[in-house]
Amino acid sequence: MRGIVMRARGLVACVALIACPIAAGALAQVSPGVAATQGAPASVAARSTSAPPPASPLDARLKKLELELRCLVCQNQTLADSDAPLAADLRGEIRELAVAGKNDDDIRAFLTARYGDFVLYNPPVQPNTWLLWFGPFILLAAGMLVWWRMSRASGHVAADDPARRTADADASRGRALLE
């Protein structure tokens, strides 16, 4: 009986975990007036009332630049994709530099000087990144060389090997018996 109760509790918890995000998503898509009357959080109501700002050439330029830069916290996301507070700060700093008249190369140089080449999503090919760029190919070539040498060594059996002589003698005796 106790096992049934535990399974029921687990089932209720699973349903709650599934239903809560679905309900929150449905609430976010409700019109602002309905969301406000149904007790939605202010952030949901405010988010649904604000229209996206018109895209300007500066915004398009910043978005392109943010896609080329790595979030230092997430490490596998671009600045544009990251929700980390540091990424938001860096996006703000990039905007300030762009508004101040800096071009994309100047902004990249500033961030690289401050955070190193790691901030670039595609690091440049230079002596300190050669291992990063060429290491996988070197390892692949080394693995192929080892495989080739091992397959060649296993295919060649010495002529004076006793096992080879026994196998040859057995084969010739078998042929003689069959004839």
**Encoded tokens for 34:** 């309905």
* 120 beta partners: 69
pTM equals 0.48
pLDDT for the residue numbered 53: 60
pLDDT for the residue numbered 38: 44
The CATH classification of domain 57-124, taken from the options 3.60.40.10, 1.10.8.640, 3.40.50.920, 3.30.70.1070: 1.10.8.640
120, 72 Cβ separation under 8 angstroms: no
Q: Give me the tens of pLDDT residue by residue for the chain, a chain 179 residues long.
A: 555 544 545 544 444 445 444 444 433 333 334 334 444 444 444 444 444 565 788 888 999 998 989 888 887 888 888 889 998 999 999 999 999 999 999 999 999 999 888 888 888 888 888 888 899 999 999 999 999 999 888 766 555 666 667 777 888 888 888 87
* 78 beta partners: 70
Calculate Rg over the CA atoms of the chain.
33
Please, where in the chain does CATH 1.10.8.640 lie? 57-124
Q: How far is CA 128 from CA 69, 122, 124, in A?
A: 19, 14, 9
Specify the amino acid at residue 25.
G
